[in-house]
Amino acid sequence: MKTLRDIELAGKRVLVRVDFNVPMNENGQITDDLRIRTILPTLRYLIAQQARVILCTHMGRPKGQRVDKYSLAPVAAYAADLLGQPVPLAPDCIGPEVAALVNGLRDGELLMLENLRFHPQEEKNDPDFSRQLAAVADVYVNDAFAVSHRAHASVVGVTAFVKEKAAGFLLQKEMEYFHRSIDNPQRPLVAIVGGAKVSGKLEALENMLARVDAMIIGGAMANTFLKSQGYPVGASKVEDDLMATAAALLARAKEQKVKIYLPVDVIAADRFAPDAVCKQVTIQDIPENWMALDIGPASVICFNEVLADAKTIVWNGPMGAFEMEAFARGTMALAHTVAASHALSVTGGGDSNAAITLSGEAYNISYMSTGGGAFLMLMEGKELPGITALA
């Protein structure tokens, strides 16, 4: 896989797939610019190398239709402010008007194409659409790790129609941290896996079982594991159809001598609401009509001891419903522990990163991956289509 530094860029038209699908409020103001800021090193390098830079990205889910609220105009303006130079927005992402604007670019200038997903062919990886995207480029650069698990035209299809292709600095960094944390980690390697559903992370759990020295499971998905072991979980969220799978996973871990740590106590509530009645209970004592919504303080102590000796920590998924203050303490406590550790710490997934940012520890984590689904696919042991397309 080539990187930017492997290619002569001066004077070349460089199509860069970025992920500028950033959250915006009702007034069209960007509320979180992380995805834009993480791409800046690549863009500044391209500008310094006197490339002619063409940015392409999606925004939202317009379902193949032109929808005004998903226009990239606010994103182009924001990127221009950060870069200190104009980033004009093309009226479309393919067609003669786009070609004319690209032909008018001078060395070191930028152009942003309009939302790729205004065309249904983007998500279908349509060859003709891919060819039209590539028609304006001499070089293709993928710097959108967050969508590299998608076999879309701008991620995969376009690579068949360009002379040269390479990974951007962000994509390169993401893969380097994957190698250091999962593929070839310093040991002990401890995985923290949380979130709502076992079903969404079953393949990751099974693959990581062969890689980790210990695994911590929290969040609502822990309820399925607890119930599979005979613990009463009240009205907690459970995937009953996966209880046998959860039990088998725990048995396999025991056979492989990999320790899996489940909560020993929880914060239970009479309902899922900010003003719910809450109390700390052991996992044996969850009231019949109550639900577990966070790990308890004893679980935090237990999990902290597991993390104390770790040399590598990989975290995907919160320990509870951290969006509500009453159920955020477990996740926040682990965030502080991971941040204070001497381990290489890598987090992935929107909820995990949002929780760590909320804890104030974002700058103390070794690396926060920009991709949720892509990060999870790597945890599953699968190849990313967007990476293999660059080979």
The catalytic site residues sit at 35, 197, 350, 373
CA-wise closest residue to 17 among 186, 158, 128, 120: 158
| 3-class SS letters over 338-381 | HHHCCCEEEECCHHHHHHHHHHCCHHHCCEECCCCHHHHHHHCC
Residues of 55-85 as b/e, b for ≥16 C-beta within 10 angstroms?
Answer: bbbbbeebeeeeeeebbbebbbbbbbeebee
The residue among 341, 325, 35, 79 whose CA lies nearest residue 192 is: 341
Angle of helix 243-255 relative to helix 221-228, nearest 10 degrees? Answer: 80
Token pair for residue 240? 């009953």
> DSSP secondary-structure letter at 106?
-
For strands 278-282 and 110-112, give the pairing: unpaired
112: left (phi over 0), alpha (psi -120 to 50) or beta: beta
The 8-class DSSP code of residue 94 comes to: S
Which residues contact residue 284 at a Cβ distance below 8 angstroms, ignoring those fewer than 6 apart? 231, 232
Beta bridge partners of 164: 139
Say whether 89 sits in a helix, a strand or coil: strand
The CB density around residue 310, as the number of other CB atoms within 10 Å, is 26
